[in-house]
Chains A and B, each alone.
Chain A
Amino acid sequence: MVTQPPIIIIGNGIAGITTARHIRKKSDVPILIISKESRYFFSRTALMYVYMGHLKWEHTQPYENHFWKKNRLDLLEETVTTINPALKTIGLSNGTELSYAKLVLATGSIPNKFGWPGENLKGVQGLYSKQDLENLESLSSSIKEAIVVGGGLIGIELAEMLHARGKKVTFLVREKSFWSNVLPLEDSQMINRHILSHGIELKLATNLIKIIEDENGRAKAILTEHGEMIPCQFVGLTAGVRPNIDFIKNTSIASKRGILVNKYLETNQADIYAIGDCAEQQEPVEGRRAIEAVWYTGRMMGETLAKTIVGEKTAYRPGHWFNSAKLFDIASQTYGWVAAHPDENESHFHWENREKNLGITIAFNKTTHEFLGINTFGLRMRHEIFDQILTEKRSVSHVIEHLNDCNFDPEFFTSYATQIVAKFNQEHDTNIRLKKKSWTRIFTNLITKE
């Protein structure tokens, strides 16, 4: 009997693992997951907590080690170097060739580098992989002053990590305000102030020119575009990530920035799929980017692809956009779209409590008053309620009126709903009255779904 070739998944991040789990729920086909990064799936979002001493490595692993064997998910710690779509084989760095029935590329991202002089010196790195964390840990005791370059989520996380371990951190942000390509100005400025309040040296509108090396080939300072020389023992490059696809560039699999896929997550080669950070949608769902390097979208692509692989061909059609982040002590959530630079049809309502580091920004259509999205800072909101609101295309006044239903803060937390409603009424000359929280309304959503 010839053994059936397995479904091979390259990459054991959230996208690859979600695919494997959901295939296994429906089918008994052999599955092989290959990753050189780590034997067992871990949560990439938790890397920072290991460095800060909140967690140990094993806590980042969502499944116990016996899970994989029990579910017949074979694991292989190797690097894939070649893919031969014609023969349906892959080659490993140790020379082995493996056949696949179907191949799933879920290789994730690598940190961007922009050709800065000195970007490959010792003490210069990004923060994406397990190996990045290990490098940082091994350097850590020799770091007193650190530079973080790039004002996005990984940048602010790296700044928080280094700060937590007692390093003096200088944070270089190219834009005029932190994460201002995603956050509206008032939100972004709120985070600027918060970063500064932690004693981080935040340098806005500042580009890195070069990294200067010491006699041992390690970074010892940086030079900014304003001619400032800042001494350091570590430079974190966190100016975004790009798809990790260098190894497929010499194959017949089509790619641009990422591996090109259609709406079924299929590449141009039969039985080869790409999902997660490394995939580039040829026809993105309306309003969405072609590459979305986000935990949640990686998971959703995995869920979708698993359906296709077990025989129910399914298009990738993510629901309403949502996201979350933690910016030092400010946890933030997003439901729907709030444009960083709203066009003439989009209006923003912003409320803020500076003392407590709380804020929300609500986007809505200027003429129809349709609710478009919300950013929250330090306040938690219910995902299900907002998902429903977006589906039903509710108005902004409906959201304001039902803020108590929407709120997801822990019990006994001070409610700011009254203040928010008052400010909205004042600015928009409306007379919206806040409704009391209603379990019936909150749970109708869930109950009708059953």
Chain B
Amino acid sequence: MKTLQKFGFGIFLTGLSLFCALIFLGQYQLTPEKFDKLITEKGIKSELFIANLNANVVNKTFSGPFDFSTKIIAALEEANTIHRKKREWSKVIWDKPHSFSYEVAKKAGIGSIVEHKGMFWLLTFGLGILGSLLYILPNVITLGPPGIKNNDIFFDSSTNRGFLGWFVFIFLVAFYVLLYFFPDYIVNWTYIVDPISKRLSGNLASQWFLYGFLYCVVMMVMAIRMYIKYRNNKYQILRTTSVLFFQIVFAFLIPEILVRFEKPWYDFKNAFPLDYDFFFSWNLNSLISSGGFGLFILVWGIVLTLVIVPVMVYFFGKRWYCSWVCGCGGLAETLGDPFRHLSNKSIGAWKLERWLVHGVLVFSLLMTGFTLYSYFSGASAVFGIKTQTLQNIYGFLIGSIFAGVIGTGFYPIFGNRVWCRFGCPLAAYLGLVQRFKSRFRITTNGGQCISCGNCSTYCEMGIDVRAYAQKGQNIVRSSCVGCGVCSAVCPRGVLKLENGPLANRTHLPNFPLGNTLDN
């Protein structure tokens, strides 16, 4: 079994290495026909840029994306600088350089990767999936009978911030940096999922399609790991199935199919303010111009945030969203599960959490307020602050860096819920409802706690669960996402997530049950 697992790990690494190697491979050639098409599609009016590309890029063959991208971006920036000086605003190319370069590269790819997309899919995704399954499936036997399966977690370098953990950290951060800021370097990755994208939406794959697809694949594979690890716990099994379902169907399939029917791309479960650009003018305009269906989405989005989310939190706690439905939560609960114990449990971290997460909530609401004011008044700035600038800062700092690079990249260092705990404005909103008006609590079973610390250690949100349990108090915390793992790892059956009457939900006895002293 161990040999099979090592073999599987080897195959996985092969697939992963090939996937990484793809970045450096491939050939790019911009033919005059493709270039003409691009000029028309993008409406490029800069004769400087066109001349530069005709001289330096067109009909030349480039190996790998870097040289190609450098030439395109240099041409773009040179042309823009001159046009800006001459105040020829209509000739300026306003696209972000690397996004623009991505669009050119997507058209210009030639050679074996573009010709054998399916084969390269098998060599990367295929081997990766196969290898992981060969590594994960034998756990049914190697982990022994159903039960709490946390042996060796703090001895393993991948799960205890060892060499492997830091390696995964660097890999994930690099991945997110490329995805968000250098899409032109990962054009080859998008080629290999083109056939799948074609079938779903009818379009070629963008880097966001690639990300969505990869997200689903990673979640599926890691969900299998969850099913095996927590096979003694039905709550975990159902919850894992639920997040997987919502990711694949709601976040991936439905939006792509909507595009096929020329409707706006929309993830029906992604609630504002997590979906921070829902009220951006481009989105509102696109929804309003898509007729009845667009209006339905508009109304749904507002009702989801204002009515459905708080009502559901009242009845079930924020877990219904954060650990049963949400995509960020879904990744955290599957790919992130091996790192859950790395969250910081100190009071200091709790303080930081409250400042940060509520700060982001306020920021998102302010930014949206500005956005809506600008939308209806037509003013581009409010109190001298440009709405566009605020949106850009939010998108960069919160949307990309916090949610992506830090949120997922830091899994192996700070645990799997860094974004959800410190950054997610929706989680902050749900948390306020959960803390002050909800039937949800984690019940402490009388005086049974032995203070062993498994609950606190495995709490991904860094809640010191034991601090409550050992006092005989229920746990009602705004940050609790109700993953249920504290209850699953408690060796004495002390904790139970449940929804019940509000009265005495947070009652703190003078002494835990068991003694006869006045309480």
Where the two chains meet, the residues of A that have a C-beta atom closer than 8 Å to any C-beta of B are 14, 43, 45-46, 49, 52-56, 59-62, 64, 164, 197-198, 295-296, 299-300, 303-304, 307, 314, 317-320, 322, 324-326, 328-329, 331, 333, 357, 380, 382-384, 387, 408-414, 439, 442-443, 446-447, 449-450
B450 pairs with A54, CB closer than 8 A: no
Assembled-state Cα–Cα distance A195/B452 (Å): 23
A331 pairs with B516, CB closer than 8 A: no
* Chain A residues, CB < 8 A from B491: 326, 331
Give the shortest distance, in Å, between B462 (CB) and chain A (any CB).
13
Main SS of the interface on chain B?
Answer: loop
Q: Interface size of B by Cβ–Cβ distance < 8 Å?
A: 58
Answer yes or no: B515 CB below 8 A from chain A CBs: yes
Sample of 7 A–B contacts (CB below 8 Å): A49-B452, A295-B450, A303-B515, A324-B450, A380-B493, A411-B235, A412-B234
Number of A-B pairs whose CB atoms are under 8 Å? 166
A412-B235 contact, Cβ under 8 Å, with A55-B453, A333-B492: yes
Answer yes or no: B52 CB below 8 A from chain A CBs: no
A59 pairs with B450, CB closer than 8 A: no
B470 pairs with A62, CB closer than 8 A: yes
B146 pairs with A383, CB closer than 8 A: no
Q: Which chain A residue has the least Cβ–Cβ distance from B452?
A: A46
B467 pairs with A62, CB closer than 8 A: yes
Give the shortest distance, in Å, between A231 (CB) and chain B (any CB).
25
* Chain B residues, CB < 8 A from A326: 491-492
Interface string of B415-445 (1 = CB under 8 A from A): 0000000000000000000000000000101
Answer yes or no: B264 CB below 8 A from chain A CBs: no
Assembled-state Cα–Cα distance A270/B151 (Å): 49
A324 pairs with B507, CB closer than 8 A: no
B234 pairs with A413, CB closer than 8 A: yes
Assembled-state Cα–Cα distance A300/B445 (Å): 16
B446 pairs with A384, CB closer than 8 A: yes
Segment touching A, from B214-222, B275-283, B494-502: B494-502
Assembled-state Cα–Cα distance A8/B346 (Å): 29
- Ranked nearest first, the 5 interchain pairs of A and B with the lowest CB-CB distance are A383-B446, A329-B147, A380-B493, A46-B452, A324-B492
* Chain B residues, CB < 8 A from A54: 148, 150-151, 153-154, 454, 457, 489
Answer yes or no: B62 CB below 8 A from chain A CBs: no
Assembled-state Cα–Cα distance A45/B466 (Å): 13
Assembled-state Cα–Cα distance A89/B103 (Å): 83
Answer yes or no: B503 CB below 8 A from chain A CBs: yes
A410 pairs with B457, CB closer than 8 A: no
Q: Which chain B residue has the least Cβ–Cβ distance from A194?
A: B145
A62 pairs with B457, CB closer than 8 A: no
* Chain A residues, CB < 8 A from B347: 64
A59-B487 contact, Cβ under 8 Å, with A324-B493, A387-B513: no
Give the shortest distance, in Å, between B424 (CB) and chain A (any CB).
24
If A307-B517, A409-B496 are given as contacts, then 7 extra A-B residue pairs at C-beta distance below 8 Å, sorted by A number, are A49-B452, A53-B154, A303-B511, A303-B515, A320-B514, A328-B147, A408-B443
* Chain A residues, CB < 8 A from B146: 329
Answer yes or no: B56 CB below 8 A from chain A CBs: no
Q: Which chain B residue has the least Cβ–Cβ distance from A14?
A: B451
Q: Which residue, B147, B484, B487, has most C-beta atoms of chain A within 10 A?
A: B147
Q: Which chain A residue has the least Cβ–Cβ distance from B444?
A: A383
A446 pairs with B492, CB closer than 8 A: no
* Chain B residues, CB < 8 A from A45: 450-452
B507 pairs with A59, CB closer than 8 A: no
Q: Choose among B147, B155, B234, B456 the residue that contacts A410 (Cβ–Cβ < 8 A).
A: B234
Q: Which residue, A62, A325, A387, A413, has most C-beta atoms of chain B within 10 A?
A: A62
A383 pairs with B513, CB closer than 8 A: yes
Q: Which chain B residue has the least Cβ–Cβ distance from A357?
A: B145
Q: Which residue, B153, B347, B443, B447, has most C-beta atoms of chain A within 10 A?
A: B447
A412-B150 contact, Cβ under 8 Å, with A295-B450, A318-B514: no
Give the shortest distance, in Å, between A449 (CB) and chain B (any CB).
7
B496 pairs with A43, CB closer than 8 A: no
Assembled-state Cα–Cα distance A1/B290 (Å): 84
